[in-house]
């Protein structure tokens, strides 16, 4: 996961225990944050005369440089332990069936454990058509030569590298390494030296306007905003920490820390970004996703909602994917949007007060 950047030589049993706890707590209700600006505060404008047929609505991303054509993908989630293999297999199987791409969980363990490489290679072999997105933490990027990171992508034939940043989680994780000094420089070097696109992602705390500006010229392909409103890694680490430990007490204070996905999208709309915007974090259904697209996102991903299904079966994941596409199409139909460029016209977003407020953060 996020929070994977503790010592490269962490004992495997500890590592696996942590990963199993992450999945258990991420599925709990208490891991979900409450935020001020949510998708419920944004409305798409209903069009009574859409002048299109439902069957003609196209969901494919027509950007010739897009990494994959589906508007959706499964967000990076580390299974990272023996039981996690079934979860990854079900996610990949459903992705193969539906054409969704899949963000793999942090590959940090592969940097020091060859057997972990084999697990992902098996998935790659079994599901050859799935577009996989590699994943590593920013604190690993700071200390790892680009060639070694390239190996992570090569080992699973990944289309791109997602670099996750998770300061809150690292600060609250008992085993965490809250060391991000040199991150910006390392990211810039990675974007220059890696032979594939780099995507920077949060893990549920979103991006401020200032940060979105700071990273504008470093060569990122996309920024996955992953804002608050869904899985909150401060909460998860609080649940993992001992009763009344400093981490648990602090996690309560920071239980709703972060910038919502909606606000992150709004901040981005105030910056002339040179990278693509991707959205995740608290996206519950196809209508939330449609709102993200209308607010400028080019791709949308689900972590918690996909995980809920992946602990059941591959078919449950596949049905979930179909449902998301169906709901997105309804939103497009009822806004008269035959394709994404139409949906992305700003006129489709109702002018709620917070959408027009002066954003100076
Ligand atoms: C079990 C689990 C493991 C995760 N592991 C990773 C990871 O390894 N790398 C990463 O970038 N994000 C990871 N995430 C974060 C998600 O990609 C996503 O940013 C975050 O959970 C917010 O999305 P959600 O509200 O849909 O859950 C993980 C999420 C979950 C639920």
- Biggest CA-to-CA distance, the chain: 61
Dist. CA 209–CA 259, nearest whole Å: 10
Residues with CB under 6 A from ligand 1: 1-2, 4, 22-23, 26, 75-78, 105-106, 135, 162, 164, 201, 203-204, 226, 230-231, 280-283, 302-305, 307
- pTM, entire model: 0.93
Residue among 39, 200, 231 whose CB has most ligand 1 atoms within 8 A, to mutate: 231
> DSSP code of 242?
P
Report the sign of the C-alpha dihedral through residues 208, 202, 68, 27, in that order.
Answer: negative
* Pair type for strands 132-137 and 198-201: unpaired
Report pLDDT for 357.
44
Confidence of residue 20 (pLDDT cuts 50, 70, 90): confident
Report the sign of the C-alpha dihedral through residues 98, 204, 175, 151, in that order.
Answer: positive
Number of the ligand 1 atom closest to the C-alpha atom of 27: 31
CA of 212 to the centre of ligand 1 (A): 20
Position 176 pLDDT exceeds 80 = yes
Who wins on pLDDT, 113 or 186?
186
The string of pLDDT tens digits covering residues 27-73 is 999 999 888 768 988 889 899 999 999 999 999 999 999 999 999 99
Report pLDDT for 263.
92
Confidence of residue 358 (pLDDT cuts 50, 70, 90): very low
Report pLDDT for 36.
73
Report pLDDT for 7.
42
Q: Name the residue with tokens 């709620």.
A: 352
Report pLDDT for 1.
53
Report pLDDT for 23.
87
Position 6 pLDDT exceeds 50 = no
Number of the ligand 1 atom closest to the C-alpha atom of 106: 8
In the predicted model, what is the mean pLDDT of residues 77-87? 76
Q: Who contacts 8 (Cβ-Cβ below 8 Å, separation ≥6)?
A: 108, 111, 112
Residue among 2, 120, 305 whose CB has most ligand 1 atoms within 8 A, to mutate: 2
DSSP for 37-86?
S-GGG--BPP-S---S-GGG-------TT-S-S-SEEEEEE---STTHHH
Report pLDDT for 155.
94
In the predicted model, what is the mean pLDDT of residues 2-9? 48
> DSSP code of 349?
B
Position 295 pLDDT exceeds 80 = yes
DSSP for 103-169?
EEPP-GGGGT-HHHHHHHHHHHHH-TT--EEEEEEHHHHHHS-HHHHHHHHHHHT-SEEEEE--HHH
Confidence of residue 322 (pLDDT cuts 50, 70, 90): very high
CA of 178 to the centre of ligand 1 (A): 18
**Domains assigned to the chain:** 12-356 (3.20.20.70)
Confidence of residue 97 (pLDDT cuts 50, 70, 90): very high
Dist. CA 311–CA 297, nearest whole Å: 28
Q: Who contacts 315 (Cβ-Cβ below 8 Å, separation ≥6)?
A: 94
Position 355 pLDDT exceeds 70 = no
Judged on CB neighbours under 10 Å (0-12, 13-18, 19+), 220 is: buried
Position 195 pLDDT exceeds 80 = yes
């Amino acid at each position: 996961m996020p929070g994977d950047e503790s010592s490269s030589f962490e004992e495997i049993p500890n590592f696996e225990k942590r990963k199993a706890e992450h999945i258990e707590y991420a599925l709990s209700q208490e891991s979900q944050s409450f935020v001020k600006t949510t998708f419920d505060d944004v409305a798409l404008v209903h069009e009574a005369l859409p002048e299109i047929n439902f069957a003609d609505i196209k969901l494919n991303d027509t950007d010739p440089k897009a990494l994959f054509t589906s508007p959706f993908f499964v967000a990076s989630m580390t299974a990272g332990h023996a039981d996690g293999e079934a979860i990854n297999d079900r996610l990949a199987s459903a992705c193969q069936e539906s054409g969704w791409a899949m963000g793999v969980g942090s590959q940090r363990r592969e940097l020091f454990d060859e057997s972990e490489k084999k697990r992902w290679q098996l998935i790659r072999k079994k599901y050859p058509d799935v577009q996989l997105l590699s994943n590593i933490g920013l604190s690993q990027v700071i200390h790892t030569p680009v060639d070694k990171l390239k190996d992570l992508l090569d080992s699973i034939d990944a289309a791109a590298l997602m670099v996750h940043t998770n300061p809150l989680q690292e600060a609250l994780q008992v085993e965490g390494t809250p060391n991000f000094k040199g991150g910006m420089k390392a990211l810039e070097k990675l974007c220059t030296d890696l032979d594939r696109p780099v995507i920077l992602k949060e893990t549920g705390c979103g991006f401020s306007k200032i940060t979105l500006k700071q990273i504008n010229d470093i060569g990122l392909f996309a920024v996955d905003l992953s804002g608050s409103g869904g899985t909150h890694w401060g909460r998860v680490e609080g649940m993992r920490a001992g009763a009344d430990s400093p981490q648990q007490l602090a996690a309560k204070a920071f239980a709703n820390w972060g910038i919502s996905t909606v606000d992150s999208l709004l901040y981005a709309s105030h910056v002339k970004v040179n990278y693509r915007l991707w959205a995740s974090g608290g996206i519950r259904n196809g209508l939330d996703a449609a709102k993200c697209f209308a607010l400028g996102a080019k791709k949308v991903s689900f972590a918690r909602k996909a995980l809920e299904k992946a602990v059941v079966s591959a078919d449950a994941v596949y049905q979930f994917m179909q449902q998301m596409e169906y709901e997105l199409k309804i939103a497009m139909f009822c806004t008269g949007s035959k394709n994404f460029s139409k949906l992305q016209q700003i006129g489709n977003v109702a002018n709620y007060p917070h959408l027009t407020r002066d954003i100076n953060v």
